[in-house]
Each structure stands twice: as structure tokens, then as C-alpha cells.
Amino acid sequence: MTMGEVIRQNRKKKGLTQEEMAARLGVTAPAVNKWEKGNTLPDVALLKPIARLLGISTDELLSFEETLTDGEIEGFIRKLQEELESRDFREVFAFVKETIEEYPSCESLILQAAALLDVRRMETDLPDKDEYEDMILGWYERCLLSQDEWLRTQAADPLFHACIRREEYEKAARYLKYFSLENPERKRKEALVNGKTGKRAEAYRACEELLFSGYQQLQLTLDDLRILCMEDGDRELARRLVSVSSQLAAAFEMGRYQEVCVGLDVAVWEKDVPWTAKIMRDILDSVDTLGDMAGSRLYRHMKLKTIDPAFKEGLKAELARSLEDESFAFMQGNEDWERLKRENRV
């Protein structure tokens, strides 16, 4: 029910004519008539007097709905997509505006509709694009008040990028608070703002940190996938994942040690004697390269810790002792394995 319908319905319940209602509110009868027909809306200052006169709450007057169901929102968005394909943008925009006015607290509807209109606005040749953008951004702003963190984040993203386009970098930075500290998007956006405002070193460092942490996350995921494959007996994919992990370490310039240390668990699981011997030799020969990523230009603005030579020596000694471990029982007696033990005897 629209506000005009609410006014007309409750005016009649009170037994008031349009002229009587107008007189009590200090407006003209044609003004009341236009409200009820939906041609205009009352001034904000009149909302409380109207509600008191009609004996209803301002929420009832504004026809507030708590929300639409997910199914109703989905149906509306589907209809909106169809309308954007077949009707003039201005007409569709007006239709959406009316719907949002009818359901002003339905944040999910507002966000999704704003996003669709925003994309189409940028794709359409409109003489008054900026006016539409201002209203769409206003809808995003309303979603920032949501209790739903996901909705707030989704609304803050287009607002941030709108500020970047307008070169309003200080304002753009204020939207960063809507992204949690754990969200990589926050750091990426900080880097973008810093890059635009002359803080080049900070921008580089943030990007490098994202690159470094992204590599670690990818490797952990590849490790988990490899374990699943081993548990399910998928040898082919397990080996493929070893190759991917090694290539990833090379691409991110993590150093030779990180490139060769993956795959030992798969080789031992398969009891592949030549492969196990090769991997262990490569590991022992590359211990000195541990921490080489600190010298990569990819991470030149980061303060990566250098690896203590004593730690490398200790690791190499521990690896040498592991050559006698029971897990390598299938390797004992192999010529290459025995040579490794002699060459690395502690």
C-alpha cells in the first residue's frame, strides 16, 4: 500500500473530507488530493502531524514493511533484469524508486536493485548520468546502516570505487572501515588509496604483503588437496598437485628449497624409490637457499626475516638423521640413498 492509499483509507475512517484534512494541516485541498493519488508526497515536516490527525503511527503512514521474503526479492530482481532489457532506463529507474519508497527497510532489495541500475547506467548513454549516480550512491549509503556485515561490505565497495573515480581519495578511505581487518580487500583498497595519494612505499608494501599471504594460502590449499588425493588413492592428481605447488613456489620467487620440498610425502606414500631419492637430494642441496625470498624484488618493501645460518645447519643435520627413519625403510639399501647418507653423515 502506498502512502497516498494509507492517507485516503485512514482519512475516510476518520470521516474527514479532503478539505477538512487540508484545513487542519494548513495546506490546500488539491495538495491532499495529489498525495492520495500518488502524484506528490507530503513535506517531511508534515508526516507527524498527518499521522497524529489520522490516529496512526508514522511507520503506518510511510507504509513500512519489515522486509520482503527472499523469494519476493528474487522475483523482483528477475523482473528488473527483464525490464532493463526491454524498457527505457528512465522508466525502469522510476519503477525501482517507487518500489524502494514502498519498502524502505528492505536492504537486500535496495542493494541488489542499486547494483543492477548502477551497471546499466554506466553502459547506457544518458545525458544526466550523474543525477542517477547520486541517487544510486544514496541507496548504497542506506545499506551501510544495515546490521548485516555482508550487506555493509557489498554497499561500501561501489561507494569506495565511486570516490576513486571522482578522485575523492580522503572520502574513499573512510569507507575502508566497513571491511574487516581480516578481509584482503581492505588492504588492497588501502594500497589503491595510498598509490593515488603519493604514499607509494605504503602502496607497494600492502600489495607485496597480499602477494605473500596469497601464496601461503594457495600452498596450504594445495597441501590439503594433495592429502585428500592420497587418502582416496588418486596418484595421478596427487603428482599433478606436487608439480603445481613447485611451479607456484617458483612463480612467487620463494627460493629453490620451497620449490623442491613439496612432494616428498607423495613419493614416500607411493614408495617410489628413485623419486624419493631425488627429492631428498634436492632438499639437502637447497637448504642454504631457505629464505631466499627475502632477496626477491617482488617483496622488496617488506621486512622479511633472514634465516640464521645456524638454523639452516641444524635443519640440514636433522634431515640427514631422518634418512635412517623407519618411514624410509623401503629406501634402505638403495645405492643413491646410501650415498646420500654417507655424504650427509652427521
CATH number at residue 16: 1.10.260.40
Asked if residue 187 is part of any domain, the answer here is: no
Asked if residue 186 is part of any domain, the answer here is: no
The mean per-residue pLDDT over the stretch 100-128 comes to 88
Handedness of CA 70, 71, 75, 81 (dihedral sign): positive
Residue 124 pLDDT: 82
Residue 64 pLDDT: 57
The mean per-residue pLDDT over the stretch 10-15 comes to 92
pLDDT of residue 259 exceeding 60: yes
The mean per-residue pLDDT over the stretch 239-262 comes to 96
More confident residue, 129 or 313: 313
Asked if residue 190 is part of any domain, the answer here is: no
Asked if residue 132 is part of any domain, the answer here is: no
Asked if residue 117 is part of any domain, the answer here is: no
pLDDT of residue 83 exceeding 80: yes
Considering 61, 77, 96, which residue would you say is the last residue of a domain?
61
Cell of 294: 627475502
Residue 123 pLDDT: 85
Residue 35 pLDDT: 87
Residue 102 pLDDT: 77
The mean per-residue pLDDT over the stretch 89-98 comes to 89
Work out the percent of the chain whose per-residue pLDDT is above 70: 97
Asked if residue 40 is part of any domain, the answer here is: yes
- Number of separate domains in the chain: 2
pLDDT tens sequence across 39-71: 887 876 788 899 899 998 877 776 655 567 788
CA–CA dist 332, 337 (Å, integer): 7
**Average pLDDT of the chain?**
91
**Using 50, 70 and 90 to split pLDDT, how confident is the model at 103?**
confident
Candidates 196, 159, 153, 154; CA nearest to 177 is: 153
More confident residue, 1 or 282: 282
pLDDT of residue 96 exceeding 80: yes
Range of the domain at 22: 3-61
More confident residue, 72 or 188: 188
Residue 345 pLDDT: 82
Residue 286 pLDDT: 95
Asked if residue 197 is part of any domain, the answer here is: no
Whether the full predicted model's pTM is greater than 0.85, yes or no, is no
Residue 66 pLDDT: 54
Asked if residue 15 is part of any domain, the answer here is: yes
First to last CA, the chain: 85
Which stretch of 59-63, 222-226, 261-265, 334-338 has the lowest confidence by average pLDDT?
59-63
**Using 50, 70 and 90 to split pLDDT, how confident is the model at 140?**
very high
**Using 50, 70 and 90 to split pLDDT, how confident is the model at 344?**
confident
pLDDT of residue 232 exceeding 70: yes
pLDDT of residue 251 exceeding 60: yes
CA–CA dist 169, 197 (Å, integer): 7
The mean per-residue pLDDT over the stretch 131-143 comes to 92
